[in-house]
Structure 1
């Protein structure tokens, strides 16, 4: 075991890399170098080798003589660590095919899919797809809101908890939040499936569901969703949905005290100034607000 002992000494720093490479010039140490780094991060349990050996000698199985094989516990543990690293790396590179993108409060992210389709992910959203299957199966899972510019090709499908959206090549926005689902088509055509019923959207058309109920919407003529320009726009939506978006963009918690959160709101708020955003929502609804840290209270004028 001269070679194994030398490798152990090299792991422990007793032999330099240059020295062991000179002694074993035909050995490929590239993999061992990687394993050496990771095994040094692992705390090896202390073993009383002499005690363990004596206990092993005293054991018998079915009264047959047992041949005792001497081994180095430290060497065994480090080789086991190497195998863990190698198998872990193999799994990561060969079996983990899921690509994931996510954003936090007040964050957006732009990225490109393998077919060069562009995706812009709005705040507090997550998107996943299978890299290996993408060429033949362009499907994604979305939780939150995203704007898509899809290159032409085979069918492109976005799945959400509320419904699915299918296109060939187009530009569209999907918003799937708690109790709210909306798809807007900006270019081409979009097929929206909700509760097994399909709806085809052309440019300027929307499909919206609030609290499980399909809501009629007006046509729009915007080229892109407003949130790409750091502004959120609403057209006849309940106040509770506006409050949810304010909380996502500003990392605040809003309490609507004695306020009817089913009030309908049409308007917009900026993502760059919290006070202006709060005023943009409360003033049209004849509400006021007060701020305490990251907590905001909405209230009616007459209650204060």
Structure 2
């Protein structure tokens, strides 16, 4: 392509015949000629040769590139993951209506169920139920110990890993711990299903399983569980179960490596005084103890 000055002179009619012939032989003259043709048909103002040349150069020398965007798979999967989380969260919020109550060491908690039935949860225990379905399905899961005062209505069920308790309306206590399962009826009638066998409990009756063995228990005249009065009571219960309850009520660790923890204990201990509670358990069994921080060591009298 000839230089800009020659093209401008040609557009302005300032080139000689020889210079015009040379220009015609140059690359891109056809385009320049079209510019001159259209410019000659325009009304005033006169053609701006400089602008025409600039337009030509822009058209001829620069080619607009098509932008190609590369798909960023890392960003794509991140966005997809966020979408999955949002959808999962929405599903949980709108469709999951499970409600739970839980207690820690040395805690109790009272609350009402959707039908106004009352529950008192003992230490280190948990109850879970479906609030949305409660009206037509009074069913809950218990891990630990709880006392129930059930309003009359449809069947009320307490599911545990050891068995199922069913009532229509009554007062009862359920205790499900490691190697220990006990149901006591205080009012009304309780149905207990264990190993596919069902037992009916009227007031004062107890169903107890220790180390997978069903035990006979004397009738009780108590109106409610002793732990509701800040006391744990036992009748012929293995020491290891008593120790476990001490640990739950006082947030301590008891070591009894040299003690026969299968020996039976009958008695009670308070939840309000650790020293008195330890003595209430050790003295009747002719044991002693020493304290090392939160660790208690049981040992035989020397």
TM over 0.5: same fold? yes
Deviation per CA, 1:95-134, whole angstroms, max 9, x where unpaired?
1111111111111111111000111111111111111211
Change (3 A) 1:257 1:89: closer
For this pair of structures, how many residues does the alignment match?
A: 236
Superposition deviation, residue 92 in structure 1: 3.5
Which residue does 1:251 correspond to in 2? 251
Distance in structure 1 (CA, Å) of the matches to 2:124 and 2:258: 28
Residue pairs, 1:236-275, within 5 angstroms: 236-275=236-275
- Cα displacement string for residues 115-174 of structure 1 (whole angstroms, at most 9, x for unaligned residues): 001111111111111112111111111110000000000000001001110000000000
Alpha-carbon displacement from aligned partner over 1:2-49 (angstroms, at most 9, x marks no partner): xxxxxxxxxxxxxxxxxxxxxxxxxxxxxxxxxxxxxxxxxxxxxxxx
Tell me by how many angstroms 1:258 deviates. 2.0
Q: In the aligned structure 2, how far is the partner of 1:85 from the partner of 1:198?
A: 45
Q: Which residue matches 2:127?
A: 127
Report the Cα distance in structure 2 between the residues aligned to 1:125 and 1:107, rounded to whole angstroms. Answer: 9
Equivalence for 1:144 = 144
Matched residue, 1:210: 210
CA distance in 2, matches of 1:104, 1:179: 20
Range moving further from structure 2, 130-139 or 77-86: 77-86
CA distance in 1, matches of 2:78, 2:117: 46
Question: 1:278: which partner in 2?
Answer: 278
2-structure distance, mates of 1:92, 1:272: 41
Output the CA distance in 2 between the equivalents of 1:84 and 1:112. 36
Distance (whole Å) between structure 2 residues aligned to residue 237 and residue 199 of structure 1: 21
Q: Distance in 2 between matches of 1:238 and 1:131?
A: 37
Distance 1:66 1:198 in 2: 79
CA distance in 2, matches of 1:187, 1:278: 33
Match of 1:172 in 2: 172
Q: 1:66 to 1:107 in 2, by over 3 A?
A: farther
Aligned to 1:118: 118
Listed as ranges, the gaps of 5+ residues in structure 1 are: 1-64
What's the TM-score, normalizing by structure 1? 0.72
1:263 to partner: Cα distance: 1.2
Q: 1:260 to 1:78 in 2, by over 3 A?
A: closer
Give, in whole Å, the separation in 2 of the partners of 1:299 and 1:212: 28
Which residue matches 2:233?
233
Superposed CA deviations along residues 63-118 of structure 1, whole A, max 9, x for unmatched, are xx9875799xxxx9999899678645532431111111111111111111100011
Give the aligned CA root-mean-square deviation in angstroms. Answer: 2.5
SS in 1 for 2:227: helix
Q: 1:30 — aligned with what?
A: none
Change (3 A) 1:66 1:115: farther
Equivalent residues in 2 for 1:76-91, closer than 5 Å: 87=87, 90-91=90-91
Q: In the alignment, which residue of structure 2 is the partner of 1:25?
A: none
Structure of greater Rg: 2
In the other structure, the counterpart of 2:41 is none
Matched, 1:295 2:268: no
Following TM superposition, by how much is the alpha carbon of 1:207 offset from its aligned partner in structure 2, in angstroms?
0.3
2:104 aligned with 1:104: yes
